[in-house]
């Protein structure tokens, strides 16, 4: 901890944002209403864009500003907007999901974060970049996104989990490598956008085929029944 105060202000700020990002992942796990889940997701996107802009400032790399802007429009505005519109359209904004074992879920989430710190130990010793804690945090965000998908039954919550995983990946790219090459970043953004659109199409298919978006009811194909 003594180490921390010797870092310049920007780095401390990025670490602080990293803490907020992982906190928002925990918040998502605890949300009962879909609309507030999407809101938290939008906040996480905003935090990521902020962190990216800050590292762009400290590292003097203009192309990170661009990815910050891309992330802001896509993850903090466009996708949350699409999702909340879908929630209204499918008349689900009042629905409250019953979380099974919330305390166990959150304990599992905490252990996953510890686990990701353990996994990235060899990298942390290596890193010459200031934001080395951030790699562990981003792996944590990825794992918590998966946990969100495992614990929820609503298809929209699955999509939010999926996009939160993308957030973690983006954070890893920014913090570990000061951003991927431009062409790759554009490609990833394009894929995410197309994925979001296809998810939107899917919601209508699923809700028209099983009359709800509860993916637990998608259970016709399995090896056990045959």
Q: Any contact of residue 60 with other proteins (CB under 8 A)?
A: no
Question: What's the closest the beta carbon of residue 5 comes to other proteins, in angstroms?
Answer: 26
Q: What are the residues facing 33 on neighbouring strands?
A: 96
Which of 6, 91, 205, 216 forms a contact with other proteins (CB under 8 A)? 205
Tell me how many degrees the CA angle 207-208-210 measures, rounded to the nearest 5: 65
CA–CA distance, 47 with 26 (Å, rounded to integer): 14
In the chain the first and final C-alpha atoms are separated, in Å, by 58
Tokens of 211: 């009359």
Catalogue the long-range contacts made by 84-89 (C-beta closer than 8 Å, 24 or more residues apart): 84/35, 84/38, 86/156, 86/200, 86/203, 87/34, 87/35, 87/38, 87/156
Q: Any contact of residue 216 with other proteins (CB under 8 A)?
A: no
Q: Which is nearer to other proteins, 13 or 149 (CB)?
A: 149
The residue range among 33-41, 83-91, 101-109, 164-172 that interacts with other proteins, by the rule CB under 8 A, is 164-172
Which of 3, 5, 183, 216 forms a contact with other proteins (CB under 8 A)? 183
Q: Any contact of residue 16 with other proteins (CB under 8 A)?
A: no
CA–CA distance, 201 with 207 (Å, rounded to integer): 10
Q: Any contact of residue 78 with other proteins (CB under 8 A)?
A: no
CA–CA distance, 198 with 194 (Å, rounded to integer): 6
Q: Which residues bind other proteins (CB under 8 A)?
A: 119-120, 122-123, 126-128, 135, 139, 142, 146, 149, 155, 158, 162, 165-166, 168-169, 172-173, 176-178, 180-181, 183-184, 187-188, 190-191, 194-195, 198-199, 201-202, 205-206, 209-210, 215, 218-221, 223, 226
């Amino acid at each position: 901890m003594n180490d921390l105060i010797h870092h310049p202000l920007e780095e401390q700020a990025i670490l602080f944002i990293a803490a907020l990002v992982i906190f928002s992942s925990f918040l998502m796990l605890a949300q009962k209403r879909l609309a507030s889940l999407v809101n938290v997701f939008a906040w996480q996107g905003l935090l990521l864009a902020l962190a990216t802009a800050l590292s762009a400032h400290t590292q003097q790399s203009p192309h990170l500003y661009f990815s910050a802007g891309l992330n802001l429009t896509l993850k903090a505005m466009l996708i949350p907007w699409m999702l909340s519109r879908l929630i209204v359209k499918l008349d689900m904004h009042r629905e409250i999901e019953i979380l099974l074992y919330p305390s166990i879920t959150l304990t599992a989430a905490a252990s996953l974060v510890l686990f990701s710190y353990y996994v990235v130990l060899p990298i942390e010793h290596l890193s010459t970049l200031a934001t080395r804690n951030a790699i562990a945090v981003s792996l944590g965000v990825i794992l918590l996104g998966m946990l969100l998908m495992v614990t929820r039954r609503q298809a929209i919550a699955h999509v939010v989990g999926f996009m939160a995983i993308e957030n973690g990946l983006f954070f890893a790219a920014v913090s570990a490598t000061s951003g991927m090459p431009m062409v790759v970043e554009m490609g990833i953004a394009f894929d995410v956008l197309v994925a979001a659109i296809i998810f939107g199409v899917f919601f209508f298919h699923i809700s028209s085929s099983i009359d709800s978006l509860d993916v637990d009811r998608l259970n016709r194909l399995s090896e056990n029944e045959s």
